Structure 1
Amino acid sequence: MSNLHGSYNQKIDYVFKIVLIGDSAVGKSQLLARFSRDEFNVDSKATIGVEFQTKTLDIDHKTVKAQVWDTAGQERYRAVTSAYYRGALGALLVYDITKRESFDHMARWLSELREHAGDSIVVMLIGNKSDLGSLRAVSTEDAKEFAQSQNVFFMETSALEATNVEPAFVSVLTEIYRIVSKKSLLPNEEHEKGDASLLKGTELAVNNELPRAGGTSSYRCCTTS
């Protein structure tokens, strides 16, 4: 069970970098705002360049700081890729359930992610804007099939209604923690650097479901390496 931790003075045991990727206007920044500050801005403007937010959680009695990076999805900002992905241990691959094109681009985004961050990065496919079900252009079944074929987690979210947002982030962070805690850990201060080598060459054997949070579950298949 993972609980939010509010103190600014506690010892940080781990710092895990997570990146948000996907097309522009799929709601990446809104997901970040909902997770980090429990906010939703209906007048949100497109992200220019890169920004990040942090949030501290308790996972298995350890204090974990999530450093979540968000960037614009427009092609003209793709030059930031290498630095953006460097040191990332997890990623949320976000599409808009009402825009089929944003889902069709997921394979390209995932390929780029794995090229820059490695195959061992923990990835969750996110179908955002589940509150707009009447406008749905991507079925849950199609998304599950893609997630299964690519061996990634899957969850549908609504940043507007705060549905599954925290469980999605917490699930990814918990899985990263599970992998890292099983390895020969580096000194705590080196975790602050977000060393990506922690996951390189790690075989990841997972159950079909992540731990349930708030009555929700996420989907994953198979074993990745």
Structure 2
Amino acid sequence: MSIIEDVKHDYKFKVVLLGEGAVGKSSLVMRYVKNKFTSRHLSTIQASFQTQKIQIDDDEVELNIWDTAGQEKYHALGPIYYRGSNGVLLIFDVTDQRSFEKVKMWVRELRATLGNSAVLMIVGNKIDMENERTVSRETAEEYAKTENAFYSETSAKENIGISTAFETLTEKMIEHNKENARNAPPIANRSIQLIDENERNSSIRTKKAKCC
């Protein structure tokens, strides 16, 4: 699996990051797309957009990544960004129990709005602060299973697990896309009747003769 340049994509997926403010959503995106990290917290205003091209086995994929604001005052804007998404990364801070509860709220909202149309991945960030952890990996994994979501852990600061999280999500989106294609109802068979032009003209002349 590798990041690639200038390719003809087989897939184009919309990915949205949701979560409480200051959990590291923007840091994850910047580390993944540009391999940059800053310890200075910069609040996202509404949303920002990044594009990344990757290759998963023989599939070439363009990820359109939306990083949304975590502040409560922007919560109502969430549906604008996650509607039509193929995958959602729900980020929480492993040292902040409240941010984990916020993820649960987002999961309920997404299931109510999107059903199972999008792949959900819950991500515990800031594992470099293990000694301050308040949400165990086992607890988060168990919750993810109950919601038919996937789970991963990362550290934007130490660049741990970020590529794995995005690539795993992409693999699951590809699988989901292929499964939907397999389960799509077949296009109804349509029959086309070919009419010989000479026979058609002969039939018209016969009808005219009968009228006379």
Shorter-chain TM-score tier: 0.7 to 0.9
Report how far residue 171 of structure 1 moved.
0.2
Match of 2:116 in 1: 119
Task: Name the amino acid aligned to 1:4.
Answer: I
Q: In the alignment, is the contact (CA less than 8 A) between 2:154 and 2:162 conserved in 1?
A: yes
Is residue 2:92 matched to residue 1:95?
A: yes
1:171 aligned onto 2:168: yes
- Give the structure-2-normalised TM-score: 0.81
Look up the SS of the partner of 1:105 in the other structure. helix
1:22 equivalent among 9, 15, 19? 19
- State how far apart, in whole Å, the 1-side matches of 2:62 and 2:81 are: 18
Q: Which has the higher helix share?
A: 2
**Corresponding residue for 1:33?**
30
The gaps in structure 2 that reach 5 residues or longer are 186-212
Three-state SS of the structure 1 residue aligned to 2:14 is: strand
Alpha-carbon distance between aligned partners in 2 of 1:124 and 1:176, rounded to the nearest angstrom: 11
Instruction: Report whether the alignment pairs 1:77 with 2:74.
Output: yes
Counterpart for residue 157 of structure 1: 154
Distance 1:105 1:112 in 2: 11
Q: Name the SS for the 2:169 alignment partner.
A: helix
1:131 counterpart letter in structure 2: D
Residue 12 of structure 1, aligned match among 9, 25, 40 = 9
Deviations 1:182-202 (A, max 9, x none): 4449xxxxxxxxxxxxx999x
Unaligned runs of 5+ in 1: 186-198, 202-225
Deviates more, 1:48-57 or 1:173-182: 173-182
Q: Percent identity?
A: 39
CA contact (8 A) 1:85 1:116 kept: no
Structure showing greater radius of gyration is 2
* 2:199 alignment counterpart: none
Aligned counterpart for 2:138 among listed residues 141, 144, 166: 141
Residues 73 and 200 (structure 1 numbering): CA distance in 2 closer, same or farther, change over 3 Å? farther
Over 3 Å counting, the alpha-carbon distance change for 1:52 and 1:140 in structure 2 is same
For the 8 Å contact 1:118–1:200, the answer to whether it is kept is no
* Structure 1 SS opposite 2:36: coil
User: CA offset at residue 78 of structure 1?
Assistant: 1.8
TM-score (norm: length of structure 1): 0.77
Q: Which residue pairs with 1:55 in the alignment? A: 52
Counterpart of 1:52 in structure 2: which amino acid? F
Match of 1:42 among 35, 39, 44: 39
User: In terms of mean alpha carbon deviation, does 52-61 or 168-177 score higher?
Assistant: 52-61
**Superposition RMSD in Å:** 1.9
